[in-house]
Amino acid sequence: MFGYYFALALRSLKRSKVLTALMILAIGLGIGASMTMITVLHVMSGDPLPGRSAQLFVPQLDARPLVRNKSSKDSAPNGNLTWPDAMNLLRAHRADRQAAMASGSAPIRPLQGSLRPFFQPGHYVTADFFPMFDVPFRAGGGWTAQEDEQRARVIVLNAELNRKLFGDAPGIGRTVRLKNTDFRVIGVLDDWYPQPTFYAQVNDRAFGKTDQFFLPLQTALDLQLSFGGNFMCWGNGGDARTSDHCNWLQFWVQLDSPAKAQDYRRFLGDYWREQQAHGRFPRPVDAQLYGLMDWLTRQQVIPSDLRLQLWLALGFLGVCMLNIVGLLLAKFLRRGSEVSVRRALGAQRRDIFLQFGIESAVIGIAGGVLGLGIAELGLLSVRQRPDGYAQLAQMDAAMLLGTFALAVCASVLAGLLPAWRACHIAPALQLKTQ
């Protein structure tokens, strides 16, 4: 039966080629615009560490003073910690793993004479960073907590920087000069670029290729290397990075069970109250612990203008569907005599409804093919943009299937009203007027 209705649909569409082309074009344009933006948001809102993100958390403490002026707006905490608080949490060892970190950049001075100095972005981290985030190593590994304390001159390179400096062979044991200091390479990563770069501040290279090297945090602080990200201080105590009135460090913990997460939340509240007893943390206790995906949502990783563009694209798809409703209504009602003859020969209303529904689905499939081509062109244009997320705009298998599913659903929904109207044509009256 479906094969018969499919053949009827093809025959009907061939009889009115211009009208069919207009409907396919309308659904193709709407699907193409919508799937372009849906694909961009899909790749941007994905889980950067599948299978591990549920165990990763950001503790939030707020050491800022109270806002005394009622006319001043009190801003939300930015999630960063002061140096003393980060070190206190590290030494407490209340999580399965914990790491403090900050972004930065440094001039690389190649020891090879053929390369000129160049700047590269990197991250200054503590020892647990690599096992906590399950960072893949091509060769070597990270440093130890003891080397953190010793301010060791060691470095981990991302594969891209390793290739630039040493070719295809891992540069384990080789020397890299940052600024005016030599560092020994102890690890080379496997092109590790989680998207988004969740461990960094959102306004600090959230998408695209970022960190090319990793150094011990305390080593970078001792050498006064260039730090990036937000650096917010309050009071009159200066702006030293090790002070207790400047927050600038990101802090992550690994908690392997919900019970451990609950215990850590209680620990944060107790720490807050302990600091209040020492004259710090004047605000009411409000310690927070955000999971990785909740943290990305809170930090608004996806730009608001992209969400607006998605709504505009979906609105355009809605306009296209309304046009298809009108075109299908005109097409189906014009076939009133055909419907009446079939009804007079014994066809039931559900048979007519199914026939026209399959015809709408065929239009949707054809529109999906056109929409897929338009979406690929749209994604190609997105990849030409300078934004960090641009190169991520690739359609995967899920989005490919979603394109056809959306096209068929949209066309079938658009055909519901016309098909229902066609089913309720009075056969006797129609045949009499003929």
pLDDT tens for 98-132 read 999 999 989 888 876 677 888 899 999 999 999 99
Residue 265: phi and psi, rounded to 5, are -60, -45
Structure tokens at 26: 């309308």
pLDDT grade for 68, boundaries at 50, 70 and 90: low
Local confidence band at 146 (pLDDT 50, 70, 90 cut-offs): very high
Q: Which two tokens stand for residue 193?
A: 């670029």
Name the band, by pLDDT with cuts 50, 70 and 90, for residue 310.
confident
Average pLDDT over residues 271-280: 93
The total domain count for the chain is: 2
Please indicate whether residue 51 or residue 307 has the higher confidence score (pLDDT): 51
The DSSP call for residue 151 is T
- pLDDT > 90? residue 67: no
Q: How far does Cα 170 stand from its chain's mean position?
A: 31
Domain that residue 147 falls in? 53-65+77-298
- Residue of higher predicted confidence among 299 and 303: 299
266 domain residue, yes or no: yes
187 part of a folded domain: yes
Residues 232 and 248: beta-carbon distance below 8 Å: yes
238: amino acid identity, one letter? G
Choose among 251, 282, 240: nearest CA to 79: 251
In a shared domain, residues 338 and 222: no
User: Do the beta carbons of residue 142 and residue 97 sit within 8 Å?
Assistant: no
The answer to whether the CB of 22 falls within 8 A of the CB of 327 is yes
Return the higher-pLDDT residue of 195 and 2: 195
The answer to whether 207 and 387 are in contact (CB under 8 A) is: yes
Same-domain check for residues 341 and 399: yes
The arithmetic mean of pLDDT across residues 231-245, rounded, is 79
pLDDT of residue 125: 96
Whether residue 386 has pLDDT greater than 80 = no
C-alpha to C-alpha distance for 411 and 170, rounded to whole angstroms: 55
Out of 244, 274, 298, a domain closes at 298
pLDDT of residue 308: 81
Whole-number Cα distances in Å, 409 to 4, 176, 271, 272, 340: 21, 57, 54, 53, 28
Query: Given pLDDT bands bounded at 50, 70 and 90, which one contains residue 49?
Result: confident
Would you place residue 228 in the very low, low, confident or very high pLDDT band (cuts 50, 70, 90)?
confident
pLDDT of 429 above 70: no
The backbone region for 2, taken as left when phi is positive above 0, alpha when psi lies in -120 to 50, beta otherwise, is: alpha
Decide if 71 is inside a domain: no
| Cα–Cα distance measured from residue 97 to residue 434, given in angstroms and rounded to the nearest whole number | 82
Compute the mean pLDDT over every residue in the chain, rounded to the nearest whole number: 83
Tokens of 247: 């927050």
pLDDT score of 113: 65
Q: So what's the pLDDT on residue 273? A: 95
Within this chain, do residues 57 and 144 fall inside the same structural domain, yes or no? Answer: yes
Domain match, 239 and 372 both = no
pLDDT band at residue 345 using 50, 70 and 90 as cut-offs: low
Q: Final residue of a domain: which of 298, 323, 354?
A: 298
User: What sections of 346-433 are H helices per DSSP?
Assistant: 349-383, 397-423, 427-433
- Whether residue 72 is contained in a domain is answered as no
Q: Which residues contact 241 (CB under 8 A, 6 or more apart)?
A: 83, 221, 227, 231, 248
User: Is 202 domain-assigned?
Assistant: yes
Three-state SS at 247: strand
Are residues 292 and 325 part of one domain?
A: no
Strand partners, 254: 56, 97
Name the pTM for this structure.
0.76
Instruction: Indicate whether 59 pLDDT > 90.
Output: yes
Structure tokens at 411: 């066309």
My answer on whether 324 and 196 are in the same domain is: no
Rounded CA-CA distance 145/339 in Å is: 80
Residues 267 and 135 in one domain: yes
Of 298, 318, 333, the residue at which a domain comes to its end is 298
State how far the Cα of 257 lies from the Cα of 55, in Å rounded to an integer: 7
Residues 35 and 60 placed together within one structural domain of the fold? no
- 170, part of any domain: yes
Alpha-carbon span 135 to 186, nearest angstrom: 14
Coil, strand or helix at 215: strand
pLDDT band at 42 (very low <50, low <70, confident <90, very high): confident
pLDDT of residue 426: 58
% of the chain surpassing 90 pLDDT: 34
Does residue 70 lie within any of the structural domains? no
Non-local CB neighbours of 390 within 8 Å, separated by 6+ positions: 208, 382, 383, 384
Assess whether pLDDT exceeds 80 at residue 355: no
> Based on the domain organization, do 290 and 310 belong to the same domain?
no
What is the predicted pLDDT for the residue at 89?
96
Residues 12 and 142 in one domain: no
Q: Which residue has the tokens 């009071």?
A: 235
The CB density around residue 217, as the number of other CB atoms within 10 Å, is 27
Q: Are residues 292 and 319 both part of a single domain?
A: no
Q: Summarize the confidence of residues 384-402 as an average pLDDT.
A: 71
- Domain shared by 282 and 309, yes or no: no
pLDDT confidence of residue 335? 66
Q: Could you tell me the two tokens for 4? A: 């018969």
Residue 110, preceding peptide bond in cis (omega within 30° of 0): no
Look at the block and give the residue holding tokens 């709407």.
30
Residue 106 is assigned to a structural domain of this protein: yes
Res. 398 pLDDT band, cuts 50 70 90? confident
